[in-house]
Chain A
């Protein structure tokens, strides 16, 4: 496996020490640029029974290594590829739990896969938590649907909590598993403060929510889950991904949230990433944010007027009503964000969160604002 060549492109020079991790053992290695060929190469040194082995040089695909820093943790996979799974200077690091999901949302940016990868990622994450540096302030838990890991998810969170009592954990979940109050009880027993749970709500009307989730009973389970979480005083962030199916009811959704879920700590209205399943279903799900400008404004201001924390994620400022600019958050990870040529002239560019670099299509209405 160490001898496999990988495609190679131009890159900067690094000759610092990086920490590597594989499914077998922890390694160290060197990354440098070959002076003759300009290839980026990595040589890994690993230790077995106290004997050091040096690998052959492995060529590296920089797409996996954008802006590598010392302290980053790379995963060396059995198929010979390297992946950066922890960026020391990022606040967006996540533990990836599984590709599986019990929903199949029409706008899913990372479509689920039906493979049994629970053990693989569980072991990986367990080891990863062990070697994470103490400087980590924030970690996400995502997937797929993390709660599919069931009790072992509780174990992982406990492991994090034990090592990092103050760390902020953001768990993303569709919330359905929390309809089981016993599961919520187990989660609460960890006693982890700074645990935030992000749960999407697609509609106030169960048929629409289930349709968008492509899953029967999703709405009911998620709503029961939300109430169970509230019973144990968990901090919940509700995420409303605005799309073609739900945008007309957006204000009613905001009313529903205030009346039925007033305990929510934060509501985030989110623009779609044109990736994953969105291109496939674009006719039923994709919408240019400019078309829901007014609906979004009413919803955000409605919730805000009731004292609920609201934010807008993933929508460029030029597509928002001006009243919403203060609610907009620069939410797109720095390694994913993209601005356009015309954005250079925009006076709001500094405050704008930009667009998804990964999106295959964007709104044609992204234009600079001059005053």
Chain B
């Protein structure tokens, strides 16, 4: 006789994956969940021991170690403890490139009405310091933020002064295409330890095609080299976006990252915002992306097993959730969602938005996720009616299709994305590209862990231990 504890299950090949409330998993034969639920597991079975010790069933209605279990649950959700820690400042929507997948909907370089004002900066920085988090990341985005260098300098210096009394640990990040990284900018980065996050899509032919400019790659590489020399090798990180064109070149992209001295890559799919994509195109894109990911990951694993350390960051994030008891704060894949709870955007237009994608909607005159003006009260912005409404659908524990999903603990909720792609905060799981992509990747990782254990586990652990 035993009692059930909360768990979810899913079939994978010949196995059942069972996942408990804190994300611990068990790989079992098919029909195991049925047997567990119909109380057919015998106390002498080895699996009985596994189920008891891993909090899938309990000898008593309330398990004796309920407090330990609660501590583990609290640990898993401890990314919430500090509330908003990532503060994105959209300094301008002007840009000096014209990338085919750009979601910044850039305006041309000259019209300064698309720049953030000093007043907005002042109010935004004050709001930023009102966050209870002792760790703050102040991230400058655009368009291309280096076009308004003076304002970046102003923002950093002002924050430094305010921080004398606030005593938070602030990390500055500059997101730039690296095309115009002059000495002024690099000097500023050096003084304030600014991390540079740049875009590199892959080898030259691919990167240039994605950027719509012939010398983009060359300039980016020059910018990266320059910045590395000035600031140190590890102060520059690169992000890639997988355009339709990129989908055919997984290995080439990885190779180009290695050649350019990076030890990790984040295989990012397109976001279904920004410039023109039709629904059918996107469905096709995502199935192709999943394939692209599998090939790239295989290639990366092979490289690691040959003795060269190279990490895939998205994989690491999911693996950390699957394999370790620790909390993972990754704003795009968490429940409760990253919007507001972890990240907020102060836009050049003087308004506060729940996320980067939220302010994209505003560019198309949709203000659904505009929380208010930078001049509004902190409490009204972060705990106001809009947020309360969004909060009803920002936990996947309570979403249709997600609430029973075995991979709930490893996935997340994104009301903004649901709204943008499906016109509904809650979203419709069967046609959700977010669901499709994440589920496929999570299943794939489980399949690797189960079927190619000796080959992949040492590599995966090496990535997780690096952090």
Complex A–B touching at CB under 8 A: yes
- A306 with B68: in contact, given A206-B52, A252-B50 (CB under 8 Å)? no
Closest residue of chain A to B59 (Cβ to Cβ) is A206
Distance in angstroms from A225 CB to nearest chain B CB is 11
Max chain A C-beta neighbours (<10 A), residue from B24, B49, B72, B458: B49
| Closest partner residue, chain B, to A262 (CB atom) | B325
Bound-state CA distance A204–B48 (Å) is: 12
Asked whether any CB of chain A lies closer than 8 Å to the CB of B67, the reply is yes
Query: Across the interface, do B53 and A224 meet the contact criterion of CB distance under 8 Å?
Result: no
Given contacts A220-B64, A224-B67, A224-B68, contact A205 B465 (CB under 8 A): no
Q: What sequence of 0s and 1s flags, for each residue 424-467 of chain B, a beta carbon within 8 Å of any chain A beta carbon?
A: 00000000000000000000000000000000011001000100
Q: Residues of B within 8 Å of A, CB-based: how many?
A: 20
- Flag whether B71 is at the interface (Cβ < 8 A): yes
Contact at B53–A256, with CB atoms within 8 Å? Answer: yes
Majority SS of interface residues in chain B? helix
* C-alpha spacing A227/B68, complex, angstroms: 7
Interface string of A212-230 (1 = CB under 8 A from B): 0000010010011001000
Q: Identify which of A217, A227, A252, A262 contacts B53 (C-beta below 8 A).
A: A252
**A263 to B257 Cα, complex, angstroms:** 36
B71 with A205: CB separation less than 8 A: no
* B345 CB → nearest A CB, Å: 34
Q: Which residue of B lies closest to A181 (CB)?
A: B67
Q: Interface extent on A, as a size class? A: 20 to 34
Within 8 Å CB of A227, what residues of B?
67-68, 71
Partner of B458, one of A205, A217, A305, A307: A305
A207 to B45, CA, bound (A): 13
**B172 in the interface (beta carbon within 8 A):** no
Asked if A249 is at the interface of the complex by the 8 Å CB criterion, the answer is yes
Closest residue of chain B to A205, judged by CB?
Answer: B49
* Chain A positions within 8 Å of B53 at CB level: 204-206, 252, 256
A339–B219 CA distance with the chains assembled, in angstroms: 69
Q: Are B325 and A259 closer than 8 Å at their CB atoms?
A: yes
The residues of A that contact B71 with a CB separation of less than 8 Å are: 227
Residue of B nearest to A217 (CB): B64
Q: Which of A205, A249, A260 contacts B72 (CB 8 A)?
A: A260
Q: Give Cα A180–Cα B461 distance, bound, in whole angstroms.
A: 36
Shortest Cβ distance from B50 into A: residue: A252
CB proximity of A211 to chain B, nearest CB, Å: 12
**Smallest distance from the beta carbon of B410 to chain A beta carbons, Å?**
15
Q: In the complex, what residues of B have CB within 8 A of residue A305's CB?
A: 457-458, 461, 465
Shortest CB-to-CB span from A295 to chain B, Å, is: 14
Q: How far is the CA of A307 from the CA of B326 in the complex (A)?
A: 14
User: Inside 8 A of B49's CB, which chain A residues have their CB?
Assistant: 204-205, 207-208, 249, 252
Question: B134 → chain A, closest Cβ, in Å?
Answer: 19
Report how far A224 CA is from B66 CA in the complex, Å: 10
- A interface SS class: helix
Provide the residues of chain B in CB contact with A206, threshold 8 Å. Answer: 52-53, 59, 64
In the bound complex, residues from chain A placing their C-beta under 8 Å from that of B461 are: 305-306
A220 to B457, CA, bound (A): 32
Kindly state the separation between the CA atoms of A134 and B71 in the bound complex, as whole angstroms.
41
B65 within 8 Å of A (CB atoms):
yes
Residues B52 and A260 in contact, CB atoms below 8 Å apart: no
Chain B residues whose C-beta falls within 8 Å of the C-beta of A207 in the assembled complex: 49, 52
The reply to whether B65 and A224 form a contact with Cβ atoms under 8 Å apart is yes
- Interface residues in B105-134 by Cβ distance below 8 A to A read none
- A217 to B72, alpha carbons, bound, how many Å? 21
Chain A residue, CB-CB nearest to B22: A259
Separation of A220 and B49 alpha carbons in the complex (Å) = 15
Query: What residue in chain B is nearest A248 (Cβ atoms)?
Result: B46
B465 to chain A, nearest CB (A): 5
**Closest beta carbon of chain B to A81's beta carbon, Å:** 45
Closest to B464 in A: A306
Partner of A260, one of B59, B64, B67, B325: B325
Which residues of B are found within 8 Å of A208, using beta-carbon distances?
49
**Measured CA separation A306–B462 after assembly (Å):** 9
Q: In the complex the two chains form, is B52's CB within 8 Å of A205's CB?
A: yes
How far, in angstroms, from A224 to B71 measured CA to CA in the complex? 11
CA distance A204 to B71 in the complex (A): 18
CB contacts (< 8 Å) of A258 on chain B: these are 324-325
Taken together as a complex, chains A and B put the C-alpha atoms of A170 and B52 apart, in Å, by: 32
Q: Is the CB of A259 within 8 A of B65?
A: no
Complex contacts, B50 vs chain A, CB 8 Å: 252
On whether A220 and B465 interact (CB within 8 A), knowing A205-B49, A256-B53, the answer reads no
Give every chain B residue within 8 A of A259 (Cβ-Cβ): 24, 72, 324-325
Complexed CA–CA distance, A205 and B49 (Å): 6
Which residues of B have CB within 8 Å of A252?
49-50, 53
Do A306 and B465 have beta carbons less than 8 Å apart? yes
Which residues from A are CB-within-8-Å of B68? 223-224, 227, 260
Closest to B63 in A: A220
Residues of A within 8 A of B324 (CB): 258-259, 262, 306
Complex alpha-carbon distance, A279 and B324, angstroms? 40
Q: Which residues of A contact B54 (CB under 8 A)?
A: 256
Chain A residues within an 8 Å CB radius of B325: 258-260, 262
Instruction: Using CB atoms, name the residue of chain B closest to A249.
Output: B49
Looking at B68, B324, B458, which has the most chain A CB atoms within 10 Å of its CB? B68
> Which residues of B (36-70) have their CB < 8 Å from a CB of A?
49-50, 52-54, 59, 64-65, 67-68
**Contacts A205-B49, A259-B24, A306-B465 known; A220 to B65 CB distance under 8 Å?**
yes
B326 touches A262 (CB 8 A): yes
Kindly supply a per-residue 1/0 record for chain B positions 153-170, scoring 1 wherever the CB is within 8 Å of any chain A CB and 0 otherwise: 000000000000000000
Chain B residues with Cβ below 8 Å from A256 are 53-54
Query: A98: shortest Cβ distance to chain B, in Å?
Result: 27
Question: Which of B59, B65, B458 has the largest count of A CB atoms less than 10 A from its CB?
Answer: B65
Measured in the bound complex, the distance between the Cα atoms of B57 and A280 in whole Å is 35
* Distance of A227 Cα from B325 Cα, bound (Å): 14
Nearest first, the 5 A-B pairs at minimum CB distance are: A204-B53, A205-B49, A220-B64, A259-B325, A305-B461
Can you give 26 A-B contacts (C-beta < 8 A)? A206-B59, A206-B64, A207-B49, A207-B52, A217-B64, A220-B65, A223-B65, A223-B68, A224-B65, A227-B68, A227-B71, A252-B49, A252-B50, A252-B53, A256-B53, A256-B54, A258-B325, A260-B68, A260-B72, A260-B325, A262-B324, A305-B458, A305-B461, A305-B465, A306-B461, A307-B465
B residues with a Cβ closer than 8 A to A are 24, 49-50, 52-54, 59, 64-65, 67-68, 71-72, 324-326, 457-458, 461, 465
6 new A-B contacts, CB < 8 A, other than A227-B71, A260-B72, A260-B325, are A207-B49, A220-B64, A227-B68, A252-B49, A305-B465, A307-B465
